[in-house]
Amino acid sequence: MKLLEGKTALITGANRGIGKSIALKFAEHGANVAFSDIQYNDDSKLLEQELAAFGVKAKGYASDASSFTDSELLISQILEDFQTIDILVNNAGITRDNLLLRMTEVDWDRVINVNLKSVFNLTKAIQRVMIKQRYGSIVNMSSVVGVEGNSGQSNYAASKAGIIGFTKSIAQELGSRNIRCNAIAPGYIETEMTAKLPQEARDKWIQDIPMRRAGTPDDVANLALFLASDLSSYINGQAIPVCGGLHT
């Protein structure tokens, strides 16, 4: 059974990691996939080919999710190419970790803009489309760090906590139009981003996880698929952890 047959999805920050896994999972389940990243490069071309192999339409776009102008232009371009957008996954994100004592204003602003403002940008740009068609599922990528906090990540934690508040508010604003908005809060997931952590830090994370293993991008993609599909048609305004029971 293909859960997203005939749907069109937009996934930001999809060239690698969790975003790429979500794109592949959606294509496997019949969705046409538009995806964006800060650059359109060889990774983008490869992902287009991998997605098209599922027999769906796929196209990558270069777009800065932290830019309101870029985001509005992206939605317009996708509508020209795909005619509709049924699902939005706000996945673009970065880290600039440091203790507050040493954190610069530039590092604070960049993380807030890429992680949080991007969610505002894309959701605002796409809501007109979804309101008109009276259907849509918006999935925002938060983090357990946005729930629990984490030393050395005050900028990242603030951005991810903000996403949860935004998600719950948009769920209330758009729910009457048959548009759902939910968030996923991954824990320690093995990606290119977490691979940069020192081994000692990675081992400590895993020791704090009751399941004693890191998650995979596919673990997150499975939940994204559920939230994007009609299987979750009465789930709205929720922030769901994918963390193996982690408590920091």
Q: Enumerate the active-site residues.
A: 156
What are the tokens at 163? 């996403």
CA 157/CA 164 separation, integer angstroms: 11
Task: Report the half-sphere exposure of 158 (CA within 13 A, side-chain side).
Answer: 16
CA 143/CA 187 separation, integer angstroms: 6
Sign, Cα dihedral of 197, 201, 203, 207:
negative
CB 159 within 8 A of CB 185: no
11-45 residues labelled b (16+ CB within 10 A) or e (exposed) = bbbbbebbbbbbbbbbbbbbbbbbbbbbebeeebe
Sign, Cα dihedral of 19, 98, 194, 226:
negative
Closest CA to 34 of 13, 58, 51: 58
CB 90 within 8 A of CB 122: yes
